């Protein structure tokens, strides 16, 4: 098949492109390089089945494809709050553009949604039937509500135009090629620990998260796209293992052998207190569940960041403000 991956030069997008190429597909990687990076895909450039296109999903585009994975959107608070209007436009107008393309070429299209659609949940663990507890006007709303509207658009196109859709709700994912400055706890803690800097914990560190290794996530995403049960989702894909932020910090210090100390800062606005996926649907519909334990995944991620820091070439400048 010929497959379009928007956000294909990002952390998850680049790994997805690799997997699709390995399966023998033609892959078009579309990315505006706001948080994505050419270095993530440069090793695929010589493959005649791979094409890189620098383009913003906010603007319309055409391609003749069989499937579309829509991963385009900054996914970390540092980046999606950098230009919140642009973040909303990426989620909403990007969804409209990929759905319009899917309608024209009759392609199946997958939306990379997020556990953030649940907001600060009052139901734990979170099931797909839970509608969420989201602040519509907070500093995280550009991302949370943008993704919620994208889901709405996907299901409206499905009902009105019979577009084949799949919606995946991604829970915290980590692994090599994470952006060192993305502000997420795994990359933050690892980089701070490797440098021997204090490890910053917000609040008392008792808020919980579930951490899914990138290979498990990509496997779940591909299974959802290709399931033959007409299962649209939404479907949670994440690791149900639940850890406090303080436990994660202590594990990173242990695995890096760091002398870093913990420092505590005020909790940011609207920061969820709990996050844990119920993956019953993924087990039943996709035969999927995570296989990589947190310690194993952290070791691989630490090795990646260690090599990056030792090379002296982090290659990750702070993003430049784009036009709204």
Q: What is the pLDDT of residue 237?
A: 98
pTM of the predicted protein model: 0.93
Residue 80 above 90 pLDDT?
no
Going by the DSSP 8-state scheme, the letter that residue 199 receives in this structure is E
pLDDT in tens, 17-74: 999 999 999 999 999 999 999 999 999 999 999 999 999 999 999 999 999 999 999 8
Q: 111 with 150: CB under 8 angstroms?
A: yes
pLDDT in tens, 207-227: 999 999 999 999 999 999 999
Among 296, 38, 321, 301, which residue's Cα sits nearest to residue 186? 301
323 vs 111, higher pLDDT: 111
Tell me how long the chain is.
Answer: 324
Beta strand 235-237 with 165-170 is: parallel
Query: Which positions are annotated as active-site residues?
Result: 143
Residue 183 above 90 pLDDT?
no
Q: What average pLDDT does the chain have? A: 93
pLDDT in tens, 275-303: 899 999 999 999 999 999 999 999 999 99
d(CA 26, CA 10): 18
d(CA 238, CA 182): 19
Q: 98 with 61: CB under 8 angstroms?
A: no
pLDDT in tens, 200-209: 998 889 999 9
For residue 69, give the H/E element and its range: strand 67-70
Q: What is the pLDDT of residue 312?
A: 78
191 vs 182, higher pLDDT: 191
Q: What is the pLDDT of residue 77?
A: 79
Residue 298 CB: number of other CB atoms within 10 A? Answer: 24
pLDDT in tens, 227-280: 988 899 999 999 999 999 999 999 999 999 999 999 999 887 767 788 899 999
Residue 243 CB: number of other CB atoms within 10 A? Answer: 18
Confidence of residue 100 (pLDDT cuts 50, 70, 90): very high
Confidence of residue 76 (pLDDT cuts 50, 70, 90): confident
**Cβ neighbours of residue 290 closer than 8 Å, sequence gap 6 or more:** 212, 213, 216, 238, 239, 240, 241
CB-based burial label for 324 (10 Å; 0-12, 13-18, 19+): exposed
């Amino acid at each position: 098949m010929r497959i379009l991956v928007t956000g294909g030069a990002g952390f998850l997008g680049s790994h997805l492109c690799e997997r699709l190429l390995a399966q023998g597909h033609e892959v078009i990687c579309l990315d505006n390089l706001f948080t994505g990076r050419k270095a993530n895909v440069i090793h695929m450039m010589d493959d005649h089945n791979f094409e890189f296109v620098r383009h913003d999903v906010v603007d319309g585009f055409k391609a003749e494809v069989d499937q579309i994975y829509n991963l385009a959107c900054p996914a970390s608070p540092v980046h999606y709050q950098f230009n919140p209007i642009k973040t909303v436009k990426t989620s909403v107008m990007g969804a409209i553009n990929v759905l319009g393309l899917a309608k024209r070429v009759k392609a199946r299209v997958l939306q990379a949604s997020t556990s953030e659609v649940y907001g600060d949940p009052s139901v734990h663990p979170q099931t797909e039937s839970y509608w969420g507890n989201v602040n519509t006007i907070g500093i995280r709303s550009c991302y949370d509500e943008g993704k919620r509207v994208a889901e709405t658009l996907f299901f409206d196109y499905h009902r009105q135009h019979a577009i084949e859709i799949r919606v995946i709700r991604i829970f915290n994912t980590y692994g090599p090629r994470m952006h060192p400055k993305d502000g997420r706890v795994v990359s933050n803690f690892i980089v701070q620990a490797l440098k021997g800097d204090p490890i910053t914990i917000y609040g008392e560190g008792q808020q919980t998260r579930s951490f899914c290794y990138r290979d498990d996530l990509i496997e779940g995403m591909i299974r959802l796209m290709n399931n033959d049960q007409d299962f649209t989702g939404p479907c949670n894909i994440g690791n149900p293992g639940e850890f406090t932020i303080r436990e994660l910090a202590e594990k990173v210090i242990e695995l890096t052998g760091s002398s870093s100390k913990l420092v505590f800062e005020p909790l940011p606005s609207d920061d969820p207190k709990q996050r844990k996926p119920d993956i019953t649907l993924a087990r039943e519909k996709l035969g999927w569940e995570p296989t990589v334990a947190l310690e194993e995944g952290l070791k691989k991620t630490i090795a990646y960041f260690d090599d990056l820091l030792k090379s002296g070439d982090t290659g990750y400048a702070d993003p430049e403000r784009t036009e709204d």
